[in-house]
Structure 1
Amino acid sequence: MPPHPETETVGNGNRSQWRYMYASSFLQVLDSSIFIPVCFTLFVALRAALIFFLPVEMSSDASWYLNRAINIARGEGYSEAGYPTAYWPVGYPGFLGVLFYLFGQDQLVAQLANLFMAVGSFFLQLELTRRIFRSEATTRLSLLLLTIYPNHIAYTSLLLTEVYFTFLLLLGIYLYIVQRGWIWILLSGLVFGLATLTKPQVLFLPGLLVLFRILSQEEKDRLREDLVKGIAIYLVMTVILVPWAVRNSQVFGEIVLISTNGGATLLSGNNPSADGGHVENDELVAQRNFSVQDQVESDRRARELAIQWIRDNPKRFIALLPLKAWHLWAKDGEAEWAYQAGYPQYEQYWYVFRTVRWVNQIFYVLLLAGSLLAAVLLINNRHRVIWPWVLIGYCLMIYLTMISIVFSGQSRFHFPAMPWAIMYAAWAFIMFSSGRLQHDNERQKIAKATPER
């Protein structure tokens, strides 16, 4: 028997009313004067708690960075086993080396530096979201999402490049977008130079920002000024990068711009055992015959082996492209591996770590879904955001994907794009919620204005 029309109308009205109340209450919470201070306090507390109450011994890449930084602090230079090295870019271990020289050779010094840089990212995300999306609700929600993002929290204790590099990216973009004076332009060049010493692929990002600046300018007479400032940024970056290239050339006897692992990275993703991720246990990979004292020649061998394999297996190389993208974007929460390897009581509490990992994965998928929804909403809502700056995050995601499908896909490589994914997801949620609120509010007004029969 179908429901009575009046009963159905009342039911729908109640559902709309409850939906309106819940959404309205949530937006009121976001609008609270204490929301940002509370978020900031929770942000710091969660990350500091891991540092002080969940001690983890560095392993794998983190251990390598730690030991190289200690060598630098001791005056032994960027070296491994007594030999000069440039295997990984010097940016992060060099930064740690300076900290260790000034404050002592303790990993806690580096972990606290990570905490301070994470805090810096918190405020940079606040300013960038507020200026680009022009929505205080979006800004506040993005801070909440960043605050409780488990993988971001977990990385604070680990001596890996992700927190440092992400902070530099956000800072460089902020300085270029928000500040227009020459001193800020030069500072952004300095920041991008340090970021390039950490991950060379950032080299092209300032050029993208200059292009966006040109596209956003209505006054054509500022074109020349924008181009000159772009050139200035790259000149400052050159001043940062050239001394390191000179050092490498003197040490290795040939030109090495930043690092000696490009060939090895290419080979690890393009070999007979390749599955889209980082593969080292393959006979072809072993043929690079790596040694620290012979790292330049080893890198050359690796590059030649990888290129030859791609030439001999073009169909397999093409088939690996989507698999590499999958390994880059499908999973999150890889910080758990570091705790599995370095936290003494991991086996006792493995179920807690694994539960957090699953919660993080759900959270991450929702963020990506929100980013995709935001891309759709932007089609008809360009006037609500600052164009084309809102596209920076999407360009970064695409750029990271392009690099990964050539080399290899690893989930930690998408870490620098996550602040932008959070911004997009927050904006999409606010847009959707505001639209439903407006729709429900209009329905309620219509219902109240309709006379009873």
Structure 2
Amino acid sequence: MKAPHFRWYFLVWLCGATGVVLFSILAGAGTKYWDETQYLEIARNVASGVGYVSEGAPTAYRPPAWPLILAAPLALRLPEPVVYAVPAALLVLGSIVAWVIGARLVSYRGLARYPAGPIAALLVLLYPLNVYTTGTLYPQMLATLLLLGMWLIVSNSLDRGRRRIRLAPISALGLFCAVLTLAVPTMIFSAVVILGWVIWKSPNRRSQLLLCGGGAFALPISVWGYRNMNVVGAFVPFSTSTGVNLLLGNNDNASGSSGVDVDVLEYQRYAASLNNEVDASAYLQGVAIDWIFDNRGSAAGLYLFKVLNYFSAYNEPATQGQGGQIAAVVAWVSFLAMVTLTVARVILRRVVPMLPSESLFLLVFVLNAFAMAVFFTRTRFRQPLDNILLVEAAIGIVSILVAVRCRRSRPVNGLTDVAVRR
């Protein structure tokens, strides 16, 4: 890409990044959802030295990665608006990683002059769902950065035809997977599939890679679980919200898109009367499992609708006063545009052949529907994975440009003047 073009792309990206940070600070000033309030409460307690505490008691209800990150600026005594800017900062970093991924994916095919990198960065930075999420204190932007970072490691290690991955990258990948699952436990399926695939693709070193990558993945989770065993009385690897989340997605009142907007108060009241949150989670989980086995036909149908809802562009927030018709229209238009360009990229894979990491991450995007539907699916939960499609959409734009140029070029000895390295 020529230097003048790069400067223009960078200027547009810089303006967008500045706007997103400002939006994050203004929109985040005053939490809108109960989840945000609890994340911030725990972060404040950690920063002040009280510990990982919520409502005056040690807790494992929220997984630790996100509150600990929010606690960092508070511990440094930075102004609280800095905390609200954390999601935007993570999105900005994620867009930079997307820039590198997009640039490398096309450069590996001899198409470095096409601006896939800056296009990917701008799509990730300005995708409406991403921008909206920066105005909340949800961990989805952390998951976005980690997922894109994992893609960069995988692509850098294996897309160039290497049959071996070094121990340092696989260790970093395992650590990223651990932090991802300790931020958003529903992303554990993605983490395990990606890490397992990379290890499997290096048959001569599987034992070493499993030891390094698997160890880096297991160690942080084990530390958190050991803490919970000593503090809340059980080895909890992720969180004690598993039971309520399973019940919210599996009961008589649930629908494919109901999410948390389900009346399970009767069970929650009884769970609150139990000894601790570990017993409460176990009780709620048992109720959900009993309902599934007692209503197998209904549970199977509900599961199918939850899978379909995973691919929805918009879910109405359960909190009153949030969302709206304009938000729904923007979400649907942007989502359909992203999917259309991704489909174009897949269709034109003979023009710009797909690399192994692209196939892997697209497969992860689709298969996550079946993993997340075990509990319940929401657009917000899928949001980190949308960034896979945004990068592929950028490659789709490049594929269209290459296809048009191929069509306009006159064949010479059966070849065109557009060379795509296969």
**TM-score where L is the length of structure 2:** 0.83
Q: Cα deviations across residues 55-81 of structure 1 (Å, max 9, x unaligned)?
A: 641132111111111111121211122
Retained in 2: the 8 A contact 1:328–1:411?
yes
Q: 2:38 aligns with which of 64, 69, 72?
A: 64
Quote the residue 2:160 is aligned against: none
Quote the residue 1:322 is aligned against: 304
Q: Does 2:212 correspond to 1:232?
A: yes
Q: Cα deviations across residues 339-367 of structure 1 (Å, max 9, x unaligned)?
A: 945xxxxxxxx9xx753542332011111
Q: 1:110 aligns with which of 83, 96, 105?
A: 83
Q: 1:385 aligns with which of 319, 330, 354?
A: 354
Q: Cα deviations across residues 210-255 of structure 1 (Å, max 9, x unaligned)?
A: 5544676xxxxx6333541242011122221212111111122222
For 1:95 and 1:52, how far apart are their aligned partners in 2? 16
For 2:273 and 2:80, how far apart are their aligned partners in 1? 27
Q: 1:375 aligns with which of 338, 341, 346?
A: 346
Shift of 1:297: 0.9
Structure with greater proportional helix content: 1
Quote the residue 2:379 is aligned against: 411
Quote the residue 2:23 is aligned against: 50
Shift of 1:206: 5.3
For 2:375 and 2:318, how far apart are their aligned partners in 1? 22
Q: 2:117 aligns with which of 127, 136, 139?
A: 139
Q: Cα deviations across residues 123-179 of structure 1 (Å, max 9, x unaligned)?
A: 111111222344433333222322331221122221111011111222233234426
Q: 1:258 aligns with which of 223, 238, 255?
A: 238
The residue type paired with residue 375 of structure 2 is F
Q: Structure 1: state its 5+ residue gaps.
A: 1-27, 217-221, 342-349, 444-453
- Identity rate, percent: 19
Quote the residue 1:92 is aligned against: 66
Cα distance, 1:35–1:214 mapped onto 2, change above 3 Å: farther
1:178-197 to structure 2, matched below 5 A, reads: 178=156, 181-197=166-182
Retained in 2: the 8 A contact 1:270–1:309?
yes
The residue type paired with residue 101 of structure 1 is A
For 2:138 and 2:213, how far apart are their aligned partners in 1? 27
Q: Structure 2: state its 5+ residue gaps.
A: 158-164, 412-422
Q: Cα deviations across residues 265-319 of structure 1 (Å, max 9, x unaligned)?
A: 1110110011113243146654653369621111111111111111111111111
**TM-score where L is the length of structure 1:** 0.78
- For the aligned residue pairs, the C-alpha RMSD in angstroms reads 3.0
For 1:143 and 1:240, how far apart are their aligned partners in 2? 30
Q: What is the aligned length?
A: 396
For 2:364 and 2:124, how far apart are their aligned partners in 1? 18
Cα distance, 1:288–1:43 mapped onto 2, change above 3 Å: farther
Shift of 1:263: 1.4
1:282-431 to structure 2, matched below 5 A, reads: 282=264, 285-286=267-268, 289-290=271-272, 294-332=276-314, 340=321, 354-355=325-326, 357-378=328-349, 380-381=350-351, 384-386=353-355, 388-431=356-399
Shift of 1:85: 0.7
Q: Cα deviations across residues 157-202 of structure 1 (Å, max 9, x unaligned)?
A: 2111101111122223323442655444333333322222112344
1:132-171 to structure 2, matched below 5 A, reads: 132-134=105-107, 135=111, 136-171=114-149
Cα distance, 1:86–1:291 mapped onto 2, change above 3 Å: farther
